[in-house]
Structure 1
């Protein structure tokens, strides 16, 4: 089937059969032919969708003949572990013994990796920061690289490695670019926009057949922490709707920040679960919160509690997404689907948290309902946005003060600096001046 669907060389067709890949996955069906045709591709799919196998097959298929020892393909991955995973898949599927694969990462000294490159490399698999460092030392030759792959791009953005990716991509003279990610968002778009050429976006969404019984879920995609705070306040100030809400934050520090943000308005109706400081309004356990009619909002730090009974709580709100998806899932599991009073689970997620949303959806087998932000919500600007909007105040000029060199008569339009002289008239003036 691989030979029928794709223009793979014989060695690769044999390799995928021996590896047990009987049927191509959806992302391979939708991308491999386009990649072979030379198109820039953005492939979006969950973990396990087959993105790594796709990039390995696409890369190896470019080496139909004996390799020459000069990098022709550069593959960027977010960390050392992912570099090893990709190299392992290359070793599993590569049958062309002339191809030399070199990995660059922070686990090996730079000098040793530069020696490895000097001995010859056809495919380089690297973390962006280490690849850039060796490139700047003139140890990585990008002159013949015609194939650039950015794998797990969402994690590269999360780690703040956008700059080395863009610099490396811009150092490659006319090549094909492939980007694989679990999610696509503004920060990722901003990273790849400088080097992607009319890319085709291919998205696959393979949810498992088995589903976990959960409360109905809604997700609000917000730009930053400040906007999260504003959205939380907007919701919690609605006393009629949000009668009892448990708000989860990842750390005690964030939990206390939320408490202070709400305390001015909610006063004694907001509390912290077992806070670090006694001056905060607090409860020792969730049962105390449920029994106290004056309390409407309970803020819980995930790091300070292992399990919590959320039955009969109308609203469960995740201000942060826990690093472990299992923690999140324990909060939203519906232990009594027949209950009349349904609980609603609400999640706030920024760009860099969307991959966690995707992992939760894969684990539960259910998509969260994406909801538009309220019109009355105040969107906070980031520090970079505020800095870019700063303008230099104009110098105040005294109209009665004489400016040296200023003429006492009105200038002709031709002599005024704001007057745009046509190219044709300029040519005639120059001709007259020269003759």
Structure 2
């Protein structure tokens, strides 16, 4: 199957050709036909499978006919970075259509967004929090929306956005086409799908299949030696672009600063940065001026860089699915990649879960010229974990603190102090490799 078999309008076909697309990916080949027929679709696919084009191309085809200057398509995404990436795809594929699009998210001034909405756009790519701000201020009119896309629905659930999604959906006409895309299908997302989709077509592609082009390695190490081990690995490994994942914003910032101090072209991508600095870090990683990007899971949504040679899990992820998402950032576009994961004593259970998902045991590696017996400096053991004022980034099931794009929204909700459980210190230990 080729893209020309879909009979796209010549102006859209020109965008497809300019983007270098020739053969549709599996999610595109399966999702586009029902979307072009106007059906509601529930698509299950990982990040990096080409699902953005799967909903953007049929959307552009539909919007070519009809009134201009009204918001006729709404795409809702969990983070600023992903919203920007989607909008870039819309602009690239629809360059010759005359259709206008914009992003709407928090962390930046609302006034330029209001001005652009007043001038008129047909497609809005939005994060939930800021979109609700516009709705409440009556600066956006969603009454003419014909197509609603909920992208990365499982991540929006993790971030606690489902109540906001329901509020947004209530503002839309029931006579619309709705597309929901998710990498996983927890029961809460299935319930949401049942609420917002009408007789949907379900398209499922490689739900949690790991990339075949990525090799895996585990590096057992004590918590306080992780930074030293990372520096050691970087010195002896031939790398291109390296993406390092941490559990918290605090640790991403600190590790990025450490790497910069020792001479690496490094930056961090986390929610405490201004939007301009976040975009600068992402642009630098894309153009190669930043070699190492340290990011949290949520902030990393929207990173689409084909030349990433290594993914390093400085902290092990919370779920096997998150591990698959992380390592899927390398080994793309027919290239090979490597995934290094540092593990401490408390990570044993998650390692086993990841190995079950992969269907094989991951080799443990120890470096002969690294001192694993070095004692932690005073207070270092406590410093490896975030201060009490920081919350864990473990998925909250929609009930815990949430923020747009890992810290950028105006809304943040926390449990009352009386309901919070005290944090208990967990011992760290060295896991010996084999």
What's the TM-score, normalizing by structure 1?
0.53
Residue of structure 2 aligned with 1:212, choices 194, 215, 220: 215
Q: Does 1:359 align with 2:346?
A: no
In the other structure, the counterpart of 2:41 is 41
The alpha-carbon deviation at position 369 of structure 1 amounts to 2.5
In structure 1, the residue matched to 2:179 is 178
Gapped runs of 5+ residues in structure 2?
Answer: 231-245, 249-295, 298-309, 331-336, 340-353, 359-396, 400-434
Which stretches in structure 1 are left out of the alignment for 5+ residues?
216-245, 249-285, 287-299, 309-319, 332-346, 372-381, 385-435
Count of paired positions: 267
CA contact (8 A) 2:157 2:398 kept: no
After the TM superposition, which residues 252-291 of structure 1 pair with which residues of structure 2 at under 5 Å, given as runs? none
What does residue 86 of structure 1 align with?
86
SS in 1 for 2:139: coil
Any idea what the Cα deviations from partners look like across 1:273-314, whole Å, max 9, x if unmatched?
A: xxxxxxxxxxxxx7xxxxxxxxxxxxx547866549xxxxxx
Q: Does the 8 Å contact 2:11/2:97 carry over to 1? A: no
C-alpha distance in 2, partners of 1:76/1:361? 23
CA displacement at 1:135 relative to structure 2: 1.0
- Whole-angstrom distance in 2 between the partners of 1:133 and 1:6: 38
Mapped partners of 1:165, 1:103: distance in 2: 17
Contact 1:80 1:105 in 2 (8 A): yes
**How does 1:82-231 map onto structure 2 within 5 Å?**
82-174=82-174, 175-205=176-206, 207-212=210-215
Q: Rate the CA distance shift 1:302–1:120 in 2: closer, same or farther, 3 A.
A: farther
Residue 8 of structure 2: SS of its match in structure 1? coil
CA shift at 1:66, angstroms? 5.8
Calculate the aligned-residue CA RMSD, in Å.
3.8
Query: How far did residue 105 of structure 1 move?
Result: 1.2
Q: Hey, what's the Cα distance between the residues in 2 that align with 1:43 and 1:177? A: 11
Alignment of 1:27-66 (within 5 A): 27-65=27-65
Aligned-partner Cα distance in 1 for 2:110–2:20:
37
Instruction: Tell me the CA shift for residue 92 of structure 1.
Output: 0.8
Q: Does 1:369 align with 2:356?
A: yes
SS at match of 1:42: strand
Quick one: structure 1 residues 26 and 109, their matched pair in 2 at CA, closer, same or farther if it must change by over 3 Å?
A: same
- Residue 207 of structure 1: CA displacement? 4.5
Deviates more, 1:180-189 or 1:125-134: 180-189
The verdict on how the C-alpha distance between 1:179 and 1:23 changes in structure 2, with shifts beyond 3 A counting, is same
Larger Rg computed on CA atoms: 1
The whole-number CA distance in structure 2 between the counterparts of 1:27 and 1:61 is 18
Q: CA deviation at 1:31?
A: 0.1
C-alpha distance in 1, partners of 2:83/2:186?
Answer: 23
Deviation, structure 1 residue 143: 1.0
Change beyond 3 A, Cα 1:168–1:321: same
Q: CA deviation at 1:370?
A: 4.9
Compute the displacement of 1:70 (Å): 0.9
Determine if contact 2:31/2:41 at 8 Å carries over to the other structure.
yes
CA contact (8 A) 1:83 1:126 kept: yes
What SS is found at the alignment partner of 2:215? coil
Q: TM (normalized to structure 2)? A: 0.53
- Find out whether 1:72 has 2:51 as its counterpart: no
| Partner Cα distance (1:34, 1:302) in 2 | 52
> How many angstroms apart in 2 are the aligned matches of 1:361 and 1:99?
32
Deviations 1:329-368 (A, max 9, x none): x99xxxxxxxxxxxxxxx9955xx7333443477689984
Mapped contact 2:160–2:398 kept (Cα < 8 A):
no
Alpha-carbon contact 2:48-2:328 (below 8 Å) kept: no
Q: Distance in 2 between matches of 1:49 and 1:302?
A: 37
Query: 2: CA distance between counterparts of 1:362 and 1:177?
Result: 28
Contact 2:101 2:121 in 1 (8 A): yes
For residue 168 of structure 1, report the CA deviation from its aligned partner.
1.0
How far, CA to CA, are the matches of 1:17 and 1:123 in structure 2? 22
Per-residue deviation, 1:76:
0.8
In the alignment, the residues of structure 2 paired with residue 78 and residue 302 of structure 1 have an alpha-carbon distance, to the nearest angstrom, of 33
Deviation at 1:211, TM superposition (A): 4.6
Higher relative contact order (CA 8 A, sep 6+): 2
Q: For residues 12-39 of structure 1, what are the alpha-carbon distances to aligned partners after superposition, in whole Å with 9 as ceiling and x for unaligned?
A: 1222112110111111001000111122
List per-residue Cα deviations over 1:104-154 (Å, max 9, x = no partner).
111432233222212212111111111111012211111111100112222
